[in-house]
Amino acid sequence: MILNTGIESMTESEKVALQSQQLKKLVERAYEKTSFYQERMQAIGLAPNEIQTINDISKLPLMTSKDLINNYPFGLLTIPVSGIARFQQRSDFNTAVGFTQQDISHQVEMLCRTLVACHIITSSVIMIAPQSLDTDSIVALQQAAESIGITVISSPLPNVTSQIKTLLDFGVTTIFSTPDILFQLADFLKNAGFSTRDLPLMNILCEAHHCSATVRKSLEEQFQIPVYTIYGLEELMNLGIAGECHKQNWLHIHEDHFYPEIIDPHTGSIISNNQPGELVLTTLSREAMPLIRYRTGDMALLEHKPCTCGRTSARLKLVTDK
């Protein structure tokens, strides 16, 4: 099942046309509205009208977290502060990402796509463990689930006993949590003489950075159900940039919102398909604070071949996920 077939199953030519249009508008707006992008592009003698297609993206300079720090809090905004619906601060409080209401709506829709891709749909009941996410991501995931008819359990769960009670009382079929919490849950059941198979759970969701292939395998062995991951990044969007489908064949990037590249972390040059390097992302649809060619610091692989699930989006695999 695919939520947005027109986008998630685009042909290559359709994707290139859309991304080219988005990048052209993005660069023009960023150049016009921020001194940061003006100065960066002028320093290398690059004019906005030289960016016509997505293939021109390599002409643009890379940016890093230092640029976010140096331009904190408003230097990268392309709209007035009055138009910002939310600022999401990083844990070090040196950076802040601004979102318009439209940006937030995009995040919710991306999360909807991922939930459907994992076969988490109307008949599902999801419990989001508070310890597993920042507040903004909890709200976004909850809104996404509710908007496609999933029942959400939203309540504080201070200990393992209350978690198990809630799982059983409400027939929870999906839990979003950290591996640490899930392992504690499995250990508690085992020590109490029960099995994880006594729970109504049908699948598990984890944030990708917290769930390596080794950790996933261990969780799936203990719970005997699929474990799916969702990718996010504090500086761009904490949750929803990419997510797995039920085939568990890497993370589908939402390419109408994020354009991925893999570069050599030492030289900055683009690396060919299926070779490991540093993930670089461009926020194609971001209104409030677009980031162009942002170096994530994550080592990853990209696969551009269509997935057997029917989605044609590029897929991401973190290199640490061996």
Give the model confidence (pLDDT) of 226-235 as tens digits: 999 999 998 9
CB-CB neighbours of 153 under 10 Å:
19
Helix runs in 152-271, H state only: 160-169, 179-191, 213-223
| Of 11 and 91, the one with more pLDDT | 11
Q: Are 166 and 172 in contact (CB under 8 A)?
A: yes
Helix (H, G, I), strand (E, B) or coil at 302: strand
What is the tens place of the pLDDT at every residue in 45-74?
A: 999 999 999 999 999 999 999 999 999 999
pLDDT reported for residue 92? 79
pLDDT reported for residue 322? 47
Rounded average pLDDT over 19-33:
98
For 57, residues 6+ apart whose C-beta sits below 8 A from its C-beta are 23, 51, 259, 261, 282, 293
Could you tell me the CA-to-CA distances from 204 to 38, 153, 172, 250 in Å, in that order? 45, 15, 11, 16
Taking the C-alpha atoms of residue 189 and residue 199, their distance in angstroms, rounded to an integer, is 10
SS (H, E, C) 261-296: EEECCCCCCECCCCCCEEEEEEECCCCCCCCCCEEE
What is the tens place of the pLDDT at every residue in 76-99?
A: 999 999 999 999 988 778 999 999
Parallel/antiparallel/unpaired status of strands 203-207 and 174-176: parallel
| Residue-averaged pLDDT of the chain | 95
What is the tens place of the pLDDT at every residue in 188-209?
A: 999 999 999 999 999 999 999 9
For 73, residues 6+ apart whose C-beta sits below 8 A from its C-beta are 87, 96
pTM, 2 dp = 0.96
Parallel/antiparallel/unpaired status of strands 174-176 and 227-233: unpaired
Q: Are 111 and 242 in contact (CB under 8 A)?
A: no
For tokens 């670089």, the residue is 280
